[in-house]
Structure 1
């Protein structure tokens, strides 16, 4: 089983090997300017490329265009890397947990869309790859607010410029709940109360008994 951040390149060698993991960040890239430069360097090949027009990444970006050119470039990087990771996972053996998966990308696109509408999401459901299991983790609004404030307080100024901020972050959580309602009858969905440890235990038990295939993609959003 591997945990994947969907917005970073991954390279799997063989299942069970110690080297078949997500491309990791060294200590020098975990702080401030170094981390930002590292992100820009790894994203530059995507930024100047054109994803295949028939692929899910290109179709998703065309279906929900962001209102800002800067956000369009940022989300292009995120979405293309996500589907690269997804395709790599599907072609590999084992179980893959996506920390930031397709629903996360949908939420960001709807949040920053020119004309946001939940109907956009319904249209995208016709071509987006479906995870074997989707886990939706939620918490009360005030808890999310405190977590977002603490998160942004730890980030350097330049990195915060590439984030949506606390207010829009809370709005994105509302969008995630609405998307979850749309998906509950279409995708295998489990909801988790992020404040209840017992709820996590119940979900783990349900996942164990879910009967996932030999190669499975699981996305918590």
Structure 2
């Protein structure tokens, strides 16, 4: 329960900071597309192809991040459980001199937890690399396509397009991936919290079933009413 309150609930707070990017990003992408198309026409497609290729990549990263997060939570719960048991049974641990053995167990559990965290951080690092390089790649594709089509762009066109791509970078390469990451990050805690909240129902149903079975065993006769 302590782990649910201290770690799992905070994931929803982080999610609601980014959740609106899930619907705002497509709207902004279409709006900016119309403006850039009005400026340079067909070469807009070259840049948007590069931009939209990031979406399936982000979805793939989100799936992997969710799997790593699930493993991390499993090892975190195991470590917290072991630590709590050691603290509760401290006298027994000291009496049987189990300190070194239990320290090794917790150390190995923590090592597995760190391994999963490192994998998740690698995914996050790739996301950040895409974020910082997205404007350059999209601009290269757009202006390269414009050059191949023989168009001549003015400085006003170039700086307008760069500023618009800069706006999209915050949404497509930062806001949307963060929203997807936080959404996948909150799926596992939501299941844990839901299972914990429904625990009393399962206990109540089990108690009621045992009580009904016990009462049926006690009633051995029958009642006849005239």
TM-score by length of 1: 0.25
Relative CO higher for 1 or 2, CA cutoff 8 Å, sep ≥ 6?
2
More helix by share: 2
TM-score by length of 2: 0.25
More strand by share: 1
